């Protein structure tokens, strides 16, 4: 067996540890080695020499081997945190069929491996679904587990905790998380001893929230296993960056392979579908897809589910560009039809606010809209907050037409100052049955908000305070009680102020077109 050892100077190593180690981290196994070589000893990079993992086999299986398939070449310590692994070259490939396979064994240490609060996380990529195959598991006497993450028969993430008061104190699984889709996923288990609360996450989204009825966690001298259950359940796939912390971390403190630029594109819902005329369900963002996925729904008696339509922004202009003279982004295939039947009856898309997305203090919100008969104050896109939105784009209606309306609530809860600061358009009538580009920008330094219709400013104002965020959702198609009626397309949220020539632009098809008459 051979393993590649990376030699660094003591000063360099100490600098790396000082910069990278998160307070409360017990162990971190980055699984770095020579690709295609079997593993031997797996170093705990937080404290080398302690909690060393040892590669092993079960029932005639093969040793786990280093593989150059990784979730990302850089691993970061949470949102805005330091670079944790600047040279992530390999993961560990486990070959298992349930009854035999490879594993990593870590001998128990009661000083470090028995935390009252714990966060367990890893990146996984499933090759073959093996029921009950463990990702990482702290064994407990018999066949139990102090805690463990495993794979279900349907390729979902499962959780098991046994306590001194009872076996299977918690045994549950996620739903529709799709770990077996051939992609890398981040998984995590969090236990808080004060609240006895157990949380389970897939791709930084909370999937399970349970209370341990018979706390606390129960430990004994059994080993910790990676990639293997006990008498069955050998994992088949790749595991990387296993980390255990003796604290109940929030999702914005988990390991990440994609640092999120707060000034970049935070969410971009192109509302594309290969098939039009069908109801929409899950709405995926082109960026930060793991965190910014929406769910379409309807509200009120007689309401209609949002549906994909071939009528899209802008009429006959099906190429979407990043700016008036910018790069081609994609060929636009569809938009979303939202039927606002009455003031309080309609359809919407809800996108849960993820802690991993930095709240944009500067922002540009933009979309293409085609208004049919929206209710007054019908919402286009907004960031919810208690008592009102942080910011919102809606429409107002009157006898002369349909006009854009911005709103920014910058007050601290309980204060009237800065509440319901509306920004009505002075022009840009949307009641012509055509597609229009609409946008809202906000500059934190000057507290200046501006709204645009078709790349021309139609209103501006200065707010009384800066934007105030909380954990409420993004919402498309409603302002809460008032629904938009019409088409919406190409919604983009950017964490900086864009000029109109940097907004999304629609262009006609490029190249030779043949018309068959």
Across the range 98-108, mean pLDDT stands at 95
**pLDDT interval class at 13 (50, 70, 90):** very low
Alpha-carbon gap, residue 58 to 36, rounded angstroms: 20
pTM over 0.75? The answer is no
Alpha-carbon gap, residue 432 to 291, rounded angstroms: 36
Across the range 225-233, mean pLDDT stands at 86
Alpha-carbon gap, residue 16 to 267, rounded angstroms: 33
Residue 184: alpha-carbon gap to chain centroid:
13
**Beta carbons of 293 and 285 less than 8 angstroms apart:** yes
Alpha-carbon gap, residue 147 to 113, rounded angstroms: 11
- Out of 6-10, 125-129, 292-296, 373-377, which region has the weakest mean confidence (pLDDT)? 6-10
Look at residue 400 in the predicted model and tell me its pLDDT: 96
> Could you report the per-residue pLDDT of 239-257, keeping only the tens digit for each?
999 999 999 999 989 999 9
pLDDT(11) > 90:
no
Residue 10: helix, strand or coil by DSSP? Answer: helix
Look at residue 24 in the predicted model and tell me its pLDDT: 86
Cis peptide leading into residue 121 (ω within 30°) = no
Look at residue 187 in the predicted model and tell me its pLDDT: 96
Alpha-carbon gap, residue 250 to 198, rounded angstroms: 12
Across the range 199-225, mean pLDDT stands at 93
pLDDT(334) > 50:
yes
Q: Which of 70-84, 342-356, 486-500 holds the top average pLDDT? A: 486-500
- How high is the mean pLDDT of the chain? 90
Look at residue 378 in the predicted model and tell me its pLDDT: 96
Alpha-carbon gap, residue 516 to 185, rounded angstroms: 47
Report in angstroms the alpha-carbon separations of 355 from 80, 201, 254, 289, 383: 12, 13, 11, 14, 14
Neighbours of 181 (CB within 10 A): 11
Which residue reads 């018309």 in tokens? 515
**Beta carbons of 472 and 383 less than 8 angstroms apart:** yes
Query: In this structure, what token pair is assigned to residue 390?
Result: 């942080």
Neighbours of 476 (CB within 10 A): 26
Query: In this structure, what token pair is assigned to residue 396?
Result: 């107002």
Share of the chain above pLDDT 90, in %: 76
| 11 membership: H or E segment, kind and range | helix 10-20
Look at residue 353 in the predicted model and tell me its pLDDT: 87
Across the range 443-449, mean pLDDT stands at 97
Domains and CATH numbers, the chain: 10-256 (2.60.120.200), 309-335+359-507 (2.60.120.200)
- Partnered with residue 347 across adjacent β-strands are 298
pLDDT(3) > 70:
no
> Could you report the per-residue pLDDT of 447-477, keeping only the tens digit for each?
999 999 999 999 999 999 999 998 899 999 9
Across the range 163-177, mean pLDDT stands at 83
pLDDT(22) > 60:
no
**pLDDT interval class at 143 (50, 70, 90):** low
Residue 250's nearest CA partner among 472, 475, 81, 413 is: 81
> Could you report the per-residue pLDDT of 355-367, keeping only the tens digit for each?
788 899 999 999 9
> Could you report the per-residue pLDDT of 54-65, keeping only the tens digit for each?
999 999 899 999
Neighbours of 516 (CB within 10 A): 3
Length of the chain: 517
Q: Which of 165-169, 208-212, 490-494 holds the top average pLDDT? A: 490-494
Residue 99's nearest CA partner among 58, 153, 139, 136 is: 58
Neighbours of 280 (CB within 10 A): 21
Look at residue 234 in the predicted model and tell me its pLDDT: 94
- Out of 118-127, 286-295, 326-335, 339-348, which region has the weakest mean confidence (pLDDT)? 286-295
Look at residue 471 in the predicted model and tell me its pLDDT: 87
**pLDDT interval class at 414 (50, 70, 90):** low
Q: Please, is 99 exposed, middle or buried when counting C-beta atoms within 10 Å of its C-beta (0-12, 13-18, 19+)? A: middle
pLDDT(134) > 60:
yes
Residue 239: alpha-carbon gap to chain centroid:
20
**Beta carbons of 420 and 407 less than 8 angstroms apart:** yes
> Could you report the per-residue pLDDT of 486-509, keeping only the tens digit for each?
999 999 999 999 999 999 999 987
Query: In this structure, what token pair is assigned to residue 367?
Result: 């979309």
pLDDT(320) > 70:
yes
pLDDT(103) > 80:
yes
Four-point Cα dihedral 173, 179, 185, 189, nearest 10: 10
């Amino acid at each position: 067996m051979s393993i590649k050892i990376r030699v660094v100077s003591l000063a360099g190593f100490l600098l790396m540890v000082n910069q990278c180690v998160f307070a409360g981290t017990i162990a971190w196994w980055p699984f770095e080695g020579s690709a295609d070589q079997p593993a031997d000893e797996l170093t705990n990079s937080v404290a080398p020499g302690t909690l060393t993992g040892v590669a092993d086999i079960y029932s005639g299986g093969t040793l786990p081997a280093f593989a150059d398939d990784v979730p990302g070449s850089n691993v970061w310590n949470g949102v805005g945190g330091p670079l944790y692994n600047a040279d992530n070259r390999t993961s560990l490939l486990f070959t298992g069929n349930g009854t035999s396979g490879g594993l990593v064994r870590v001998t128990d240490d009661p000083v470090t491996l028995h935390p009252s609060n714990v966060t367990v996380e890893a990146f996984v990529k499933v090759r073959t679904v093996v029921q009950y195959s463990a990702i990482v598991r702290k064994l407990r006497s018999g066949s139990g587990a102090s805690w463990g993450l495993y794979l279900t028969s349907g390729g979902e993430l499962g959780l098991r905790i046994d306590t001194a008061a009872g076996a299977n104190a918690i045994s549950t699984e996620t739903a529709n998380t799709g770990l077996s889709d051939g992609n890398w996923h981040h998984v995590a288990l969090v236990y808080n001893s004060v609240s006895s609360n157990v949380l389970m996450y897939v791709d930084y989204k909370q999937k399970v929230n349970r209370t341990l009825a018979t706390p606390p966690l129960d430990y004994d001298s059994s080993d910790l296993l990676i990639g293997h259950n006990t008498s069955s359940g050998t994992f088949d796939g790749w595991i990387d960056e296993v980390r255990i912390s003796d604290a109940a971390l929030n999702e914005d403190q988990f390991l990440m392979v994609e640092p999120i630029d707060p000034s970049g594109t935070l969410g971009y819902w192109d509302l594309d579908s290969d098939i039009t005329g069908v109801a929409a369900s899950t709405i995926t963002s082109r960026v930060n897809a793991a965190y910014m996925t929406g769910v379409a729904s309807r509200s009120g008696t007689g309401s209609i589910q949002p549906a994909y339509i071939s009528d899209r922004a802008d009429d006959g202009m099906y190429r979407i560009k990043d700016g008036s003279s910018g790069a081609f982004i994609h060929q636009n295939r569809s938009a979303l039809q939202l039927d606002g039947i009455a003031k309080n009856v309609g359809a919407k898309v809800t996108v849960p606010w993820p802690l991993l997305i930095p709240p944009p203090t500067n922002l540009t919100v933009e979309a293409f809209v085609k208004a049919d008969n929206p209710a007054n104050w019908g919402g286009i896109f907004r960031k919810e907050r208690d008592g009102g939105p942080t910011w919102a784009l809606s429409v107002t209606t009157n006898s002369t037409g349909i006009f854009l309306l911005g709103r920014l609530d910058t007050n601290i809860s309980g204060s009237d100052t800065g509440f319901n600061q509306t920004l009505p358009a002075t022009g840009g009538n949307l009641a012509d049955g055509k597609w229009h580009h609409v946008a809202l920008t906000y500059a934190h330094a000057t507290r200046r908000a501006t709204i645009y219709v078709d790349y021309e400013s139609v209103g501006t104002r200065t707010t009384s305070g800066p934007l105030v965020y909380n954990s409420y959702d993004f919402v498309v198609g409603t302002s809460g009680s008032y629904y938009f009626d019409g088409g919406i397309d190409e919604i983009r949220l950017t964490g900086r102020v864009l000029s109109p020539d940097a907004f999304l632009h629609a262009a006609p098809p490029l190249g030779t077109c043949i018309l068959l008459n």
